[in-house]
Amino acid sequence: MLPKECKISKVEDENQATKTIFVECKDKPQPGQFYMVWVPGVGQKPFSVAGVSPLRFSVCAVGEFSRKFASMKKGEKIWLFGPYGNFFEPQGKKIVAIGGGYGTGPMRYAARIAKKKGDEPIVVIGARSKDKLMKGETGVRTVFTTDDGSEGMKGNVVDALKKILQEEKIDEVYACGPEKMMGAVGKLCIEKKIKCQLLLERYMKCGFGMCGQCSIGEILVCFDGPVFDAKIVEHPEFGKFHRDCAGRKVLL
């Protein structure tokens, strides 16, 4: 497959470390799908779709590739392989979509699509403090949480989910973020018998099932996912082990 050459059309600040990058590309991938983004001379990494028309990615600058990607300007070009992977399949009308860190991008997109279909999504966005929250427009009912209480509800996204579940009848939960957070969301939903789908963002190399880098035991996140039923949290490797950049299985 040849990559698509795409020009950056706009860059929006989300917070100090995170930008949303809009590109000129007519693709309309589904919420949950991802692209391998190639920046010549730097490398290629997977990024979840954070919206379409125009296609966009929310990029948190943490290492060499993401720092370069997040610093790119309008008019510069990137190359895209994909879209890859499965996507969220709505199974209810009242959906809570939970985003931690850069997982917020695909959750906002999933919620916007759900609203367009006539569903009633609530987005829950969490961060350690106000300056780390992803504050871009969601277009739907939104609950912010911060660990230190500097904005929104004091606590984490799991506390917010528990509160919502006490107050309202929820059909389904989506989540994307650190595995520890998704583990807690998944376990809570299994316990409460609420449908739940999790978007996993494991370290990937090939993105299409060849290298084994993204494995959780026998499961390949890029090929079998990246969206999984909450039951994935019961896998003995979930939230405990991952593979480092050399492919070694190490503690998470």
SS3 21: strand
Q: Which of 7, 26, 28, 63 binds ligand FAD (CB under 6 A)?
A: 63
**Which does residue 164 touch among ligand FES, ligand FAD, none (CB within 5 to 8 A, set by kind)?**
none
Name 59's bridge partners. 19
> Should residue 243 be labelled a site residue for ligand FAD when binding is judged by CB under 6 A?
no
Classify residue 133 as exposed, middle or buried by CB count within 10 Å of its CB (0-12, 13-18, 19+).
Answer: buried
Q: How far apart are CA 171 and CA 194, in angstroms?
A: 6
Residue 68 gets the label, from left (phi > 0), alpha (psi -120 to 50) or beta, of alpha
Name 180's bridge partners. none
**Which does residue 59 touch among ligand FAD, ligand FES, none (CB within 5 to 8 A, set by kind)?**
ligand FAD
Q: Quick one: 4 or 45, whose CB is closer to ligand FAD?
A: 45
Q: Quick one: 149 or 247, whose CB is closer to ligand FES?
A: 247
Shortest separation between residue 211's beta carbon and ligand FES, angstroms: 3
**Which does residue 48 touch among ligand FES, ligand FAD, none (CB within 5 to 8 A, set by kind)?**
ligand FAD
> Should residue 81 be labelled a site residue for ligand FAD when binding is judged by CB under 6 A?
no
With CA atoms as reference, report the closest residue to 198 among 179, 212, 222: 179
Cis status of the peptide bond prior to 46, with omega within 30 of 0: no
In this structure, what DSSP letter does residue 51 have? B
48: amino acid identity, one letter:
S
Q: Rule CB under 6 A: which of 169-208 touch ligand FES?
A: 204-207
Taking CB under 6 A as the binding criterion, the range among 89-97, 132-140, 197-205, 231-239 that sits at the site for ligand FAD is 197-205
Q: How many CB atoms lie within 10 A of CB 68?
A: 15
Site string for ligand FAD, 144-183 (x = CB under 6 A): ----------------------------------------
Q: Which residues bind ligand FES (CB under 6 A)?
A: 204-207, 209-214, 220, 222
